[in-house]
Amino acid sequence: MAIWRYTVASQVIGFFQRLGLPSTLITVFAVASSSIGVVQQRGRAVYLAQQARGIDFRASVLSRITGLPKLVIPVAVATIVEGTERGVAMESRGLGSGPWRLTGWYSPPPRSRRFSEATSALVMLLAFTIH
Amino acid sequence: MRYMSLFSAHISLQKPGGPEKSVNFDLAAGETVYVAAPNGCGKSRAARQLCGLDHGERSNIKAAGQAFSVWRGKRLTELDGRMRAAKFGFVPPNPQLLFSMVGRTLRQELELAFGVLGRDVDDNAIDRMTDWFDLAPLLDRDYRQFSGGEQVRAALACVLVKGPEVVVTDQVADQIDPEFRRKVSAIFEDWAREDGGVLVQFATAMRDGFGNQARHCAFLTGQELLTGTSQECWPRLGQDGPILLGGPMRLGALLQQKGLAVFDSMPCEAEVLASALTPSSQYMTPFVTPPSGTGTDWLTARIYEFAYPGGAFHLRDAVLRVPAKTLCAVLGPNGAGKTTLLKCLANLVGPWKGAVSINGRDYDTKLSLPKTARLALYCFQNPDDQLYRSTVAEELVECSRNAGGSSALTSDDLQLAESFGLMAYLEASPFELPLSLRRLLVTASCLIARPPLLLLDEPTAWLDGQQKIALAGALSAFLRKGGCALAVSHDLDWVSTAASQLVFLANGRIVQRVESSVLPASQSLPYPPTCLEVAEHLAGFPRLWREEEFLRRLHHA
């Protein structure tokens, strides 16, 4: 999770393009890694909404633990539901319709950073395969 | 203009158990078409069908029978996905969905629009978008932190930057201020005319297409109600268009009465049309008399300073005094700080300097969020940010239950649900509701909790005329029982009839504060007036409800 959290989708794209992987696979990884941001955003929104509507998660350690399902379930449901609509929007933009052309910001990063990013990407690949 | 059919579509829609209804569109290059209709008739579904996209917004309306769009003689479903994405642009009602999350800044998203289509980045096109949509201050910012209006501008740029031939927007104007709405309207028409494109704008409010040569359609339960050029439909109206709180159905019916439009046969819509033709007094006068304040201040807020991390925006010296039983509308251009002000009051952002008092109970930035919720309940701008329960009934009582109130719906609550059209969905998942009903659901949930201070962020966004009337009625009932409400809105029509106090913000400061009841009529402002025009024009607040004038003009047409 930590690797997923700190790996920027654009770097993954650049790395995989350099490896010459098929564009479909690159798109799958790009969208999968960018979905981390979507889940985070949705999680923050639900957490804030629940507190803004009077649920006190911070009252005690017990309330934090018992409150976890109240947070996780709606985040999961909302993410899945929103995912369908996001998929339509992404399709309308052309994501997944063919190979991406590199631009400056998602081209491969400097050599000094490549090792850690390549490792991150391979771990992601492994995690995705197992999943 | 030589008529050249660039794009045509045959759309079929079906309500559960209902008959299949079809609409044909035949659109010429350079044309702009506005499609107006009440919510729940299938606009969003039709918008997606036009673009050859499979899934609709959450709604009961399903695609049915033979539906196809034809672009330059080819069916969209037969087109390569990349070609379709290059030639068709689609802007959903929730513009956030268009941001890929692959990049972090708006500039990266704009560049991505070219990258995913396998093209080189066109800096000229990006500069053009930056200029059109005033994006210079936003380009290198994280788009996840944009305000509602900024998101709409960024999403429009992300779609237009790739130079599509057909653009379909789905009710995107609700979150942008009137000034920018005018500008976007002009941009769209210029773009369609100069680039030979077609723009189809699905919107509840027809006013977005005023003062132009655009073709208009009113769309009713999947059946075309009226169509014609704006010159045919809107004779000599110019920018002094009517207010459409009564809804496009009513307008369509008025036009039909005057013989100004051709209608298809509508055997099943007689009842709807009859209700649309009820005496105009029902629509002309404020449909809800705003309750007058009791004199003493219910809410006193002094927020001297708040800044987001990074210092991108500052809210300064916001001092508010609102009497009990009053709806105070917070107006201002996009990015003025309206939502931020409400979030400060609800302690959703902080820390801020200052103090708030609600009916003698004081709090400041240190009060926890759940405790603040018992004093000031915030209704989110995007309803999806607020929903998390598994059924609509549970959502309705959620705020009340957390505040120690009843967890069962009372008869008053059920009446509210009925007026909002939620009764049929009580056991359904909130995530299955269409956007307008999700919007009403989150508002109903806050109203049922009866907080001392209700904070509404764009409460009329995505609502149609009848739903706005229901909302104003429910708010009026809430205020009669005590408390007060603040509503951020760009909907001046609604505000001018439902609110009794107006506060104007610009650049993070309150620039004007007025009682709407003491404002005389004025006809001298363009329509729709921007908030700042109204603020500068306070010697004569415009009467935004000008149906009488509209009827007079129709009579002479």
Q: Does residue B499 contact residue B291 with C-beta atoms inside 8 Å?
A: no
- pLDDT value of position B239: 30
Percentage of residues in chain A with pLDDT exceeding 70?
67
For helices B392-402 and B435-449, the axis angle rounded to 10 degrees is: 30
**Is the predicted pLDDT of residue B453 greater than 60, yes or no?**
yes
In terms of domains, do B357 and B499 share one?
Answer: yes
Q: Give B555's pLDDT tier (boundaries 50, 70, 90).
A: very low
Supply the pTM of this predicted model. Answer: 0.77
The domain boundary, picked from B191, B206, B234, lies at B234
* Domain membership flag for residue B460: yes
**Residues of B with Cβ-Cβ distance to A49 under 8 angstroms:** 380, 385-388
**Is the predicted pLDDT of residue B193 greater than 70, yes or no?**
yes
* Domain membership flag for residue B275: no
* Domain membership flag for residue B269: no
Cβ–Cβ below 8 Å for A101 and B119 = yes
**Out of B92, B144, B385, closest to residue A85 by CB:** B92
In terms of domains, do B333 and B441 share one?
Answer: yes
CB proximity under 8 Å: B 406-435 to A: 429, 431
How many helices (H) and strands (E) are present in chain B, helices listed first?
Answer: 19, 22
Cβ–Cβ below 8 Å for B384 and A82 = yes
- pLDDT value of position B279: 35
Percentage of residues in chain B with pLDDT exceeding 90?
22
- pLDDT value of position B135: 93
Q: Residue B397 maps to which CATH number?
A: 3.40.50.300
CB proximity under 8 Å: B 102-121 to A: 102-104, 108, 111-121
Q: How far is CA B520 from CA B10, B539, B541, B543, in A?
A: 49, 8, 6, 8
Give the range among A105-119, B211-225, B302-316, B431-445 with minimum mean pLDDT. Answer: B211-225
Handedness of CA B170, B176, B177, B182 (dihedral sign): negative
CA distance B443 to A41: 22
- pLDDT value of position B38: 61
- The total domain count for chain B is 2
**Residues of A with Cβ-Cβ distance to B158 under 8 angstroms:** 93
Most confident of A21-30, B16-25, B74-83, B245-254: B74-83
The domain boundary, picked from B211, B234, B257, lies at B234
Q: How far is CA B79 from CA B47, B51, B168, B195, in A?
A: 18, 11, 17, 21
In terms of domains, do B91 and B187 share one?
Answer: yes
The domain boundary, picked from B185, B203, B234, lies at B234
In terms of domains, do B229 and B307 share one?
Answer: no
CA distance B503 to B44: 34
In terms of domains, do B316 and B456 share one?
Answer: yes
Quote the domain boundaries for residue B406: 297-518
* B88-91 β-sheet, strand order: B88-91, B166-170, B198-203, B32-36, B215-220, B223-229, B262-263
- pLDDT value of position B535: 53
Q: Give B350's pLDDT tier (boundaries 50, 70, 90).
A: confident
**Out of B53, B115, B399, closest to residue A91 by CB:** B53
User: Mean pLDDT, chain A, as a whole number?
Assistant: 73
**Is the predicted pLDDT of residue A131 greater than 60, yes or no?**
no
Angular region, B73: left φ>0, alpha ψ -120 to 50, beta rest = left
The model's pLDDT over B474-494, given as tens digits with 9 standing for 90+, comes to 988 898 888 899 999 887 767
Q: Give B214's pLDDT tier (boundaries 50, 70, 90).
A: very low
Give the range among A117-121, B166-170, B184-188 with minimum mean pLDDT. Answer: A117-121
**Is the predicted pLDDT of residue B151 greater than 70, yes or no?**
yes
* ipTM > 0.90 for the complex: no
Q: Count residue pairs from A and B with Cβ separation < 8 A.
A: 163
* Domain membership flag for residue B204: yes
- pLDDT value of position B275: 41
**Mean pLDDT on B496-516:** 78
**Residues of B with Cβ-Cβ distance to A6 under 8 angstroms:** none
Measured in angstroms, the CA of A101 and the nearest CA of chain B are apart by 5
Nearest to B95 by CA among B369, B405, B462: B462
Handedness of CA A50, A56, A61, A66 (dihedral sign): negative
Name the one residue in this structure whose structure tokens are 């995913």.
Answer: B116
In terms of domains, do B113 and B206 share one?
Answer: yes
In terms of domains, do B335 and B214 share one?
Answer: no
**Out of B89, B101, B113, closest to residue A37 by CB:** B101
**Is the predicted pLDDT of residue B542 greater than 70, yes or no?**
no
In terms of domains, do B335 and B213 share one?
Answer: no
φ, ψ of residue B162 in degrees (nearest 5): -85, -5
In terms of domains, do B308 and B404 share one?
Answer: yes
φ, ψ of residue B157 in degrees (nearest 5): -65, -40
- pLDDT value of position B549: 44
Cβ–Cβ below 8 Å for B144 and A37 = yes
* Domain membership flag for residue B262: no
- pLDDT value of position B224: 38
CA distance B527 to A13: 48
Interface check A58 vs B, CB under 8 A: yes
* Domain membership flag for residue B316: yes
User: Mean pLDDT, chain B, as a whole number?
Assistant: 73
Question: Count of CB atoms within 10 A of residue B488's CB?
Answer: 27
Q: Which residue has the higher pLDDT, B21 or A94?
A: A94
CA distance B6 to B131: 28
CA distance B440 to B444: 6
Give the range among B26-40, B41-55, B92-106, B218-232 with minimum mean pLDDT. Answer: B218-232
Give per-residue burial for B265-303: e unless 16+ CB within 10 Å, then b.
ebeebeebbeebeeeeeebbeebbebbebeeebbbbbeb
In terms of domains, do B226 and B302 share one?
Answer: no
* Domain membership flag for residue B547: no
* Domain membership flag for residue B84: yes
In terms of domains, do B492 and B368 share one?
Answer: yes
Name the one residue in this structure whose structure tokens are 């109203």.
Answer: B447
Residue B11, CA atoms < 13 Å, CB-side half-sphere: 30
Nearest to B43 by CA among B60, B27, B30: B60
CA distance B484 to B471: 15
Interface test with chain B among A34, A56, A92, by most B beta carbons within 10 Å: A92
Measured in angstroms, the CA of A80 and the nearest CA of chain B are apart by 10
Measured in angstroms, the CA of B103 and the nearest CA of chain A are apart by 6
Question: Count of CB atoms within 10 A of residue B418's CB?
Answer: 12
